[in-house]
Amino acid sequence: MRFAHICDYPSLRSFTVAYFILRTLFVTLTCCFQSDFKRLIAYSSVSHIITIPFLILANSQLALKSALLVMLFHGLSSPALFVLVRVVYSLFQTRQLVRTRGILTLRPLLSLFLVLAFFFTLSAPPFPSFIREVFFMASSLLLSKSIALMFIFYAFLSLLYNLN
């Protein structure tokens, strides 16, 4: 945030935005094809955090609030998910999503915690990450309308790997 004024040059700003768009879409597509639970959480963490430079480049109060919300919700949800993955691994000796789906019916409390952690990261209306997503979309409109369309695609891909 302290060096955001350096990116006020149009050519540097457009290069930076293009770089982060490609990185965001690549990481999100990587998440869609993950079968390892821990890797999925790690790549989704990168996917969330890589959105912060966009918000800083938007250079508005709404964008800075959105960046703080991204950091806050990421700081709450990511450690919880990593702890739950460790619990799943210690119980079932696997991190493969396909193998743990049926087994989790034997542990309803663990399944409840996993579902609650999932809802905390889901960007749908009744959940807290939805506010972050709305602020993020509004802030991306400050950069460009085409960038906002790219982030709608990013949100769709994020929903896909979250449903996994």
Say whether pTM exceeds 0.85: no
Contacts of 64 (CB under 8 A, 6+ apart): 1, 55, 56
Q: What is the pLDDT of residues 85-133, one digit of tens each?
A: 999 898 888 888 778 777 777 888 888 888 888 777 777 777 777 887 7
Q: What is the pLDDT of residues 12-43, one digit of tens each?
A: 777 887 888 888 888 888 888 888 888 888 88
Task: Classify 158 as helix, strand or coil.
Answer: helix
Residue 36 pairs with which residues in a beta bridge?
Answer: 96
The sign of the CA dihedral 39, 57, 69, 137 is negative
| pLDDT score recorded for residue 83 | 92
